[in-house]
Amino acid sequence: MSWQRFHRRQTAIRFLLERLAKNPEQLPDPRRHDELSDVFDDREQLLCALQHKWTQQLTGRLDARLGECDGRGGDRLEAARRAWQDTATANPVLREALDRHVTAPEGELRRAVERERRLLALTGGLAEHSEPETEISRSGAALLQLLHASERQETESPLPVTV
């Protein structure tokens, strides 16, 4: 990817996230926006770009959190949980867009989602590289379900504060 293409892509992603911040229900059609049509052909490409951005953010935080733990299984799982939650907190529009619009991924988007699942399962110590990819993905999907449920629970019913 050329330097100019990279910058056009980053500008398009910023435009997309700004649009989604204003109207999260509506994933723009890239053919109807000059800011997007130069870079993306369809909505799947938009979602792939958002998933890629999310994975980059998550990977950086996973590396940082893993550096803080001693490598035991529980610590690794906690590091993965915290990294995911840190990433979601730092990127609320991005996370909401993916949660809302990536419902039944296919093609490249599905492969990207599966990579994220495997990344979380392996990083969290829920699976080993020697296991079949489908099992690793299943473990990662289960962890993601727990993370999403935990996130919803925190926003819907905060813990009571006692003094």
Cβ(78)–Cβ(61) below 8 Å: no
Burial of 26 (C-beta count, 10 Å sphere; 0-12/13-18/19+): exposed
- Structure confidence at residue 71 (pLDDT): 59
Token digits for 19? 């649009």
DSSP H stretches of helix in the chain: 3-22, 34-37, 43-68, 73-90, 92-101, 107-123, 133-156
pTM of the predicted model as reported, rounded to 2 decimal places = 0.87
Cα separation, 146 vs 162, in Å, equals 26
Q: Write the pLDDT tens digit of every residue in 84-129.
A: 999 999 999 999 999 999 988 899 999 999 999 999 999 999 999 9
Which token pair is 71? 């490598």
Give the pLDDT confidence score for residue 69 in this predicted structure.
82
Q: Is pLDDT of 130 > 70?
A: yes
Q: Domain boundaries in the chain? A: 42-152
Share of the chain above pLDDT 90, in %: 79
The pLDDT assigned to 163 comes to: 39
Q: Determine the Cα–Cα distance for residues 152 and 157; give it in Å rounded to an integer.
A: 8
